[in-house]
Amino acid sequence: MTGESSSATSGFLAAEKAAEYLVDSLRRLDDESGRYSAAAGTLGQLGDDVRELAGRTAELAGRTTEAVEALRGVGAAQVLERLGDLGQRLTEQAQAVDDLRARIAGQDSRLDSLSASMRDLEARIAALGDAQRTVAAEIKSTLDERAAEFRKQTGAVALMARWGLVAAAAAALLAALAAILTRV
């Protein structure tokens, strides 16, 4: 029984391995088939691109032939003269570009200097603002002190005026009393 069971198990394991191998082989075959399909599409596109390039090349060759024939009709001396004129213009343009670059570089340094001056001015304005706030606080403090002092002084003057009135009333009363006493 053990022998039969062992051979059945071995057969089953062998069948399972064969099935796994078959599944794995089918997966690889499917992947490879997909790569071949993608490559075929890419080759088809590449073929279209090559045909388009060939058409453009033929068109360019035709234009080149026309240009050569036109140059023959114009003459090499005129072509060389025009090329020389064009070279002179290009040289002048290059000089103008160099001049413009130099001016731009000069403007950059001026802008840097102006920017530094602006930062310095901002710092000075901030310092002036701080000084103004300090002076305003000092003036307010001085005014508050003087106002308190003034209030004290006006209070003393008012008190003196009241005592003066009281004294005058007392003197008038004493005078009236003296007059009454002198009559009696």
What's the rounded Cα separation, in Å, for the pair 114 and 65? 60
Half-sphere exposure (CA, 13 Å, Cβ side) for 37?
Answer: 6
What's the rounded Cα separation, in Å, for the pair 184 and 179? 9
Mean pLDDT, the chain, integer: 77
Question: Can you give the pLDDT at residue 102?
Answer: 80
Q: pLDDT tens across 78-90, in order?
A: 767 777 887 888 7
What's the rounded Cα separation, in Å, for the pair 105 and 176? 104
Name the pLDDT band for 75 (thresholds 50, 70, 90): low
Q: pLDDT tens across 134-169, in order?
A: 888 888 888 888 888 877 777 777 777 777 777 788
What's the rounded Cα separation, in Å, for the pair 34 and 40? 10
Whether pLDDT at 39 is above 70: no
Whether pLDDT at 72 is above 70: no
Long-range contacts of 47-50 (CB under 8 A, 24+ apart): none
Name the nearest CA neighbour of 98 among 90, 110, 86: 90
Do 71 and 79 touch, CB atoms closer than 8 A?
yes
Question: Can you give the pLDDT at residue 24?
Answer: 80
- The amino acid occupying position 98 is D
Tokens of 65: 């032939």
Highest-pLDDT range among 19-23, 72-76, 144-148? 144-148
Q: pLDDT tens across 42-68, in order?
A: 767 767 777 777 777 778 777 777 777
Q: pLDDT tens across 99-125, in order?
A: 877 877 777 777 788 788 888 888 888
Distances (CA, A) of 5 to 12, 14, 16, 40, 71: 10, 14, 16, 52, 97
Instruction: Tell me, yes or no, if the pTM score tops 0.75.
Output: no
